[in-house]
Structures are given as structure tokens and as C-alpha cells.
């Protein structure tokens, strides 16, 4: 596969200069390069030495000792992300604290305590959407889903290797990547398991716990197509294995078309380096696709003529269609979805009167075209206002003015994206794919969410099937 060269001399000079970034390696070197650099575990390659290296690494951590691992304590009473300061009797009668007391990195107000909710197995954490403003998720509240915890990677040692069906295997450092032209895009990311437990019944009490595995950030990185232009692609290149440097050696197969369109190698999030829990120092980002395929702590991309059928795309992240008994594999795109964040589960409205219903809508297929609101359990629907700018593959804030009479009500939101696709009901999803009777995971669950408001103003998760 050949990429067209730039038509002008200046463009050719730039192409030529870019082609010298990164370290050219042989295919044989590619097979060990990332392992040597990471002291971590074997992924799709079975290399005997690596298990031993893993144990050496573990011993080192133990030798450092627990005290050194603990973060510096903030004020005893302050919530996470904040520092406790005294409250003056009259703030106009004394100077406030000096700049620099925060060591040069700011913290939020000690009066704000929103935190991610961590599930009991500590494998996922959920965004406090009920108190979110606008569309950007603060980096410290971005949802998490890890398969073996958060590795601590030294950016000076971490490498990304691209090899397989390429003309020139290349090894890139973070510094190498930063020399390429970069782009920034505001994109949502959603776990394909979000709201899965809500298919058959109202399962979780709050919007944080029903829908909190979705977030939006501004991501900065290098288009993967730029790197593949440097490595070249051989005939037959059609899939790419993406491999992480975490303890799970998370791996997924990615179609080459996605790699050559909007795929990014990301190192920036909301104006700073991506957080460790988002894949520091670099991650794959595949806009609009289920979160787990955007491999974090990315260390290797192997180009192939076929998918790899890795653990995370056979035993996990496939969709059992109970109607037929067959499973769907490689279901990547996240369909249109929306949820009302205010009012939402476990809130209490103080009394009848005006409320602004608000929430978020998103689609992996492009822009949100409209969001409709029902306040009568789905009998009638009215258009909500969409907050500009409405960006493709990003969360869109919607707002709807509402006067609550004080009578019980069920409020719902329904999103339609620019392809004309409308968010389904639970019944429609079940009719299409079959019910989920036995315990199991229902991925890509994007049904319309309902919140019931009782006469006393209480708000609870309600489900059309009870």
C-alpha cells in the first residue's frame, strides 16, 4: 500500500524530515523491543524471560516500601482534590493566601466533594454526572475501566513499536511522537458495558451509577495515519493489533480503515499530559468506538492481514444475541444515547415550580441532531434546546424548561443523531436482541432512561418493565 507524496517541494521536504523521526528497527527487533523497554509481561508474544522480569519488578516496588508510595496528605477534613484552609470571619479584613501555596498546581474548593464512584471489585469508576456542568469531564473525574490496575510508566523509557506488514518497522519514543504535527479534538469515550445492568430492570439508584462510564475530554495527539505513512503498509494489511503495557497486556484488533481515518495516538488531555489512569504516557484513541479498544499505555501496533481474536474480543466484549443464541463480535461503534442528569435518581425536588431539566446526549456516529423530552412517561415529546457548539462524537448538553405541578411524573430524554438514528426503548432493544434472563453482560445498551418523580419530590430510577 502506497501513500501519495506531497505535490510541492516544501511538502516533500517536510515528508522527508518526518520520515527520519523514530528509530528504524528490524521485524526481529520489533518482537522484543517493547518488552526490553518495559520490563513488563508478554502479550501476544510468548517470551520465557518476561515472567521473571515481572517478579523482579514486583520486588522492587516492595523494597521501596509502603510509606514512600503514599501521597502527601492534604488537610484531614478536605475532600479529594481539595486542600483545607481556615475560613476567615470577614474575608475583606485580611489578605487571602498567597499564590504558590498550592505548589504551583491548583486544587478545587474544599467545599466541593464530587468524586468518582468506584465499584466493589475496584475495576471501574463512574463520573458524578448528576452535578456536571457543560460537556467537558474534569480529567480527575473521567471514568476509568482497567483490567489490571494502573501501571506507572516512565515516559523516558516507554516506547511504541509499529511492525508486522509494514515496509519499515519503527520504534517511537514519546519525544519522537511530539515532533509530528498534532491535532486536538473534543471526543466522548464510553465503555460498551455502560447501563448494561439496566436492560431488564431498574438496577442502579443514581445517574452516576447507571450512566457514569462515559466522559468527554479534549484529546491531543498524532494521527495514526501519519505514523503508518512513515512505516508504510504492505499488501494485505487489513487489521492492526493494539497492545497495552498494563498488567493485563490489554489487546484488541483494529480494522486498518479506522487506523487510516480518525485514529489518534494521544498524549494530551484537557490541555495537559493524559492522566495515568487514561494511559499515560500514550494511548490509542478511536473516536466513537467502545472505550476498551482505545488501548491505554499503548506499546505495540502489529499490522496483519487478519484479526487476532484476542481474549478481550472473544471471551469479553462480544454481544450475546439471546434470540438466536449467537454472539456478535467486533461491534465497535457506540450508538446514540442520552440521559437526564438533573433531576435524576436520589435527588429531591424541594417543591412544585420551575426546574430546568438538563442532561447529555452523544453518538459515536457523528453529531446529535435533536433531543426530545417527555415529562409524561413517553406519551408526548418536545424538543430540548442544544447547547452550542454541537460537536461530532462529543457530548452535547441539552436543556428543557419545565414547571412541575407537584403531581407524580416520569421524565425521559430521547436522542437522534445526524444519521437519523433514534435512541430505542428497552422493549425495542429486547425485541431486536432478545432478553437477558441469566446473569451476563449486555453490551451496547443505549435505551431511553426514565426518572420517576414522586409527589414528595423524590426522584428514582424507573423502568418500563418494572
Applying CB under 5 A, which residues contact Co ion? 192, 290, 331, 443
**Which CB atom, from 239 or from 404, has the smaller least distance to Co ion?**
239
Considering the complex, what minimum distance in angstroms separates the CB of residue 444 from Co ion? 6
CA pair distance 465, 144, nearest whole angstrom: 30
Which of these, 270, 301, 296, 300, lies nearest to 284 by C-alpha position? Answer: 296
- DSSP SS3 for 437: coil
242: Cβ contacts below 8 Å, ≥ 6 apart: 251, 252, 253, 254, 284, 293, 295, 298, 300, 301
Which of these, 149, 123, 422, 186, lies nearest to 276 by C-alpha position? Answer: 149
**CB-closest chain residue to Co ion:** 331
Considering the complex, what minimum distance in angstroms separates the CB of residue 429 from Co ion? 14
**Which CB atom, from 34 or from 192, has the smaller least distance to Co ion?**
192
Considering the complex, what minimum distance in angstroms separates the CB of residue 221 from Co ion? 23
**Which CB atom, from 192 or from 215, has the smaller least distance to Co ion?**
192
**Which CB atom, from 198 or from 372, has the smaller least distance to Co ion?**
198
Would you say 213 and 126 are in contact if contact means Cβ atoms under 8 Å apart? Answer: yes
Considering the complex, what minimum distance in angstroms separates the CB of residue 322 from Co ion? 16
CA pair distance 452, 378, nearest whole angstrom: 12
**Which CB atom, from 193 or from 450, has the smaller least distance to Co ion?**
193
Residue whose C-alpha cell is 481556615: 86
Would you state the cell numbers that stand for residue 184, as one nine-digit string? 486536538
Q: For residue 115, what are the β-bridge partners?
A: none
Would you state the cell numbers that stand for residue 178, as one nine-digit string? 511530539
**Which CB atom, from 131 or from 331, has the smaller least distance to Co ion?**
331
Considering the complex, what minimum distance in angstroms separates the CB of residue 200 from Co ion? 19
CA pair distance 193, 290, nearest whole angstrom: 9
How are the residues of the chain apportioned to helix, strand and coil, as percentages rounded to the nearest 5? 20, 30, 50
Considering the complex, what minimum distance in angstroms separates the CB of residue 321 from Co ion? 12
Would you say 173 and 299 are in contact if contact means Cβ atoms under 8 Å apart? Answer: no
**Which CB atom, from 283 or from 444, has the smaller least distance to Co ion?**
444
10 Å Cβ neighbour count for 343?
25
**Which CB atom, from 222 or from 293, has the smaller least distance to Co ion?**
293
Considering the complex, what minimum distance in angstroms separates the CB of residue 300 from Co ion? 22
DSSP notation for 146-170: -SS------TTT-EEEEEES-SS-E
Amino acid at each position: 500500500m502506497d501513500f501519495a507524496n506531497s505535490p510541492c517541494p516544501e511538502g516533500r521536504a517536510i515528508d522527508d524530515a518526518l520520515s527520519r523521526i523514530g528509530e528504524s528497527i528490524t521485524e526481529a527487533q520489533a518482537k522484543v523491543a517493547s518488552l526490553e523497554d518495559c520490563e513488563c509481561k508478554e502479550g501476544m508474544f510468548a517470551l520465557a524471560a518476561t515472567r521473571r522480569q515481572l517478579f523482579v519488578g514486583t520486588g522492587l516496588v516492595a523494597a521501596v516500601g509502603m510509606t514512600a508510595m503514599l501521597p502527601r496528605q492534604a488537610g484531614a477534613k478536605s475532600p479529594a482534590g481539595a486542600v483545607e484552609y481556615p475560613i476567615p470571619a470577614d474575608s475583606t479584613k485580611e489578605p487571602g493566601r498567597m499564590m504558590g501555596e498550592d505548589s504551583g498546581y491548583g486544587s478545587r474548593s474544599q467545599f466541593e466533594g464530587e468524586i468518582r464512584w468506584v465499584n466493589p471489585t475496584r475495576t471501574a469508576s463512574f463520573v458524578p454526572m448528576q452535578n456536571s456542568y457543560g460537556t467537558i469531564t474534569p480529567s480527575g473525574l473521567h471514568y476509568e475501566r482497567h483490567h489490571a490496575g494502573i501501571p506507572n510508566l516512565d515516559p523516558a523509557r516507554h516506547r511504541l513499536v509499529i511492525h508486522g506488514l509494514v515496509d519499515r518497522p519503527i520504534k517511537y519514543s514519546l519525544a519522537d511522537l511530539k515532533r509530528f504535527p498534532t491535532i486536538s479534538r473534543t471526543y466522548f469515550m464510553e465503555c460498551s458495558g455502560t447501563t448494561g445492568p439496566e436492560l431488564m430492570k431498574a438496577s442502579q439508584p443514581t445517574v452516576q451509577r447507571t450512566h457514569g462510564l462515559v466522559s468527554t475530554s479534549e484529546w491531543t495527539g498524532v494521527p495514526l495515519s501519519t505514523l503508518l505513512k512513515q512505516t508504510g503498509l504492505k499488501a494485505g494489511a487489513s487489521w492492526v493489533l493494539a497492545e497495552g503495557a498494563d498488567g493485563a497486556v490489554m489487546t484488541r484488533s483494529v480494522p486498518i480503515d479506522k487506523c487510516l481515518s480518525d485514529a489518534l495516538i494521544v498524549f494530551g488531555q484537557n490541555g495537559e499530559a493524559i492522566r495515568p489512569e487514561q494511559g499515560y504516557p500514550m494511548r490509542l484513541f478511536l473516536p466513537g468506538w467502545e472505550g476498551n479498544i482505545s488501548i491505554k499505555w499503548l506499546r505495540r501496533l502489529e499490522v496483519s492481514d487478519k484479526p487476532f481474536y484476542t481474549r478481550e474480543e472473544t471471551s469479553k466484549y462480544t454481544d450475546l444475541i439471546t434470540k438466536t443464541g449467537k454472539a456478535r463480535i467486533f461491534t465497535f461503534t457506540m450508538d446514540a444515547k442520552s440521559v437526564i442528569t438533573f433531576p435524576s435518581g436520589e435527588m429531591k425536588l424541594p417543591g412544585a415550580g420551575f426546574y430546568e431539566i438538563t442532561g447529555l446526549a452523544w453518538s459515536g456516529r457523528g453529531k446529535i441532531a435533536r433531543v426530545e423530552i417527555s415529562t409524561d412517561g413517553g406519551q408526548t415529546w418536545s424538543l430540548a434546546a442544544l447547547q452550542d457548539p454541537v460537536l461530532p462524537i462529543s457530548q452535547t448538553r441539552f436543556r428543557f424548561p419545565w414547571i412541575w405541578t407537584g403531581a407524580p411524573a416520569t421524565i425521559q430524554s430521547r436522542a437522534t443523531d445526524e444519521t437519523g438514528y433514534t435512541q430505542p426503548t428497552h422493549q425495542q432493544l429486547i425485541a431486536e436482541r432478545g432478553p437477558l434472563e441469566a446473569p451476563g453482560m449486555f453490551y451496547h445498551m443505549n435505551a431511553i432512561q426514565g426518572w420517576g418523580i414522586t409527589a414528595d419530590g423524590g426522584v428514582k430510577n424507573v423502568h418500563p418493565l418494572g
